[in-house]
Amino acid sequence: MPKIVFVETDGTEKEFEVADGLSVLEAAHKNGIDLEGACEGSLACSTCHVVLDEEWFDKLDEPSEDEEDMLDLAFGLTETSRLGCQIIMSDELDGLRVKLPAATRNMMVDK
């Protein structure tokens, strides 16, 4: 099983083994990591925004146009930002490090 390392906003690192085929968002939820995912992975928000190290970012397929549209709404967007619901764990991603942003923007909350 591949391992994933979540880097929390305070710099704390937490490593977990996760099943192949789980998204980063699902892996976070299964392991008690505070990654919101308000739309439950339906690509309708940016609350599962994560930041990757460049080496990991370069290993992923290009984001879809829909993902890029949602990323435009993300708080603290970087050049290596992705949505956790769109990164699917596999042996090729063993050791993936994802940083949680300092905040999220939830556009799905009624105001």
Domains in the chain (CATH in brackets) are: 3-99 (3.10.20.30)
pTM for this prediction: 0.91
The answer to whether the beta carbons of residues 54 and 94 sit under 8 Å apart is: no
DSSP 34-61: ----TTTTSSS-STTEEEE-HHHHTTSP
Per-residue pLDDT of the chain (111 residues; tens, 9 = 90+): 999 999 999 999 999 999 999 999 999 999 999 999 999 999 999 999 999 999 999 999 999 999 999 999 998 899 999 999 999 999 999 999 999 998 765 554 433
pLDDT of the residue at 111: 35
pLDDT of the residue at 22: 97
pLDDT of the residue at 56: 97
